[in-house]
């Protein structure tokens, strides 16, 4: 089983990273998700922001301000739902629609079997995230992501530490330690 607090730490990290993606789509040089090769399209019924998808090695990467996920053709998927601040093992054959999540296909890591399946699915998504972040650094420099972090009010871990934590979770999920909960940092006017 995962150490207590690790799943919540993963969710916190993805919440921060989702905020970074919001800055990436508004980058002065253009939409970085599109430059990286994701397809942009409007969400049905105008729920939330635009949606981005990309197929890589048979996996569908799906990004939206409400959630992020990966849906492999031949194995379990993984989804982080922002409003719930929670990650799930996702077993449906199709991606969800923003705000409409099929509960019968979503599972939390409550047993050893579900934990192993959850980790296997999560590590696929985190590998994609690691590749994307390496491209960000190579294309726009470490300073860009650091500036995103400085502007964020619910700081989790700085970009280099967050990448190290995600990598630790990918490679050693049962040894990875949780990060202390974050406190909001907001300047009073």
Q: Is residue 84 part of a domain?
A: yes
Q: Give the CA distances from residue 133 to residues 107, 115, 177, in Å, rounded to whole numbers and listed in that order.
A: 27, 26, 22
Q: Is residue 188 part of a domain?
A: no
User: In the chain, how many domains are there?
Assistant: 1
List alpha helices for 3-80, DSSP H: 6-24, 32-35
Return per-residue pLDDT of the chain as tens, 189 residues. Answer: 888 999 999 999 999 999 999 999 999 999 999 999 999 998 666 666 899 999 988 899 999 999 999 998 889 999 999 999 999 999 998 899 989 999 999 999 999 999 999 999 999 999 999 999 999 999 999 999 999 999 998 899 999 999 999 999 999 999 999 998 666 665 554
Q: Is residue 82 part of a domain?
A: yes
Structure tokens at 13: 């990290």
Q: Is residue 154 part of a domain?
A: yes
Q: Is residue 86 part of a domain?
A: yes
Closest CA to 11 of 142, 143, 182, 185: 182
Between CA 135 and CA 171 the distance in angstroms is 21
Do residues 18 and 162 lie in contact, with contact meaning Cβ atoms separated by under 8 Å?
Answer: no
Q: Is residue 165 part of a domain?
A: yes
Residue 66 belongs to what domain range?
Answer: 6-171
Structure tokens at 50: 């635009």
Do residues 147 and 153 lie in contact, with contact meaning Cβ atoms separated by under 8 Å?
Answer: no
Q: Is residue 176 part of a domain?
A: no
Q: Is residue 69 part of a domain?
A: yes
């Amino acid at each position: 089983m995962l150490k207590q607090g690790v799943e919540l730490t993963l969710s916190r990290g993805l919440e921060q990273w989702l905020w970074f993606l919001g800055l990436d789509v508004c980058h002065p040089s253009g939409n970085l998700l599109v430059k990286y090769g994701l397809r942009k399209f409007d969400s049905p019924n105008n729920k939330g922001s635009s949606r981005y998808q990309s197929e890589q090695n048979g996996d569908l990467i799906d990004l939206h301000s409400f959630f992020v996920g990966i849906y492999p053709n031949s194995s379990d998927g993984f989804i982080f739902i922002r409003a719930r601040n929670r990650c799930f093992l996702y077993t449906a054959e199709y991606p969800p629609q923003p705000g409409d999540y099929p509960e019968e296909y979503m599972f939390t890591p409550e047993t050893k079997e579900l934990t192993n399946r959850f980790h296997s699915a999560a590590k696929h998504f985190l590998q994609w995230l690691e590749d994307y972040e390496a491209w960000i650094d190579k294309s726009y420099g470490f300073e860009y992501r650091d500036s995103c972090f400085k502007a964020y009010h619910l700081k989790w871990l700085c970009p280099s530490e967050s990448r190290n934590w995600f990598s630790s979770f990918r490679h050693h999920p049962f040894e990875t330690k949780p990060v202390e909960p974050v406190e909001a940092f907001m300047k009073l006017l």
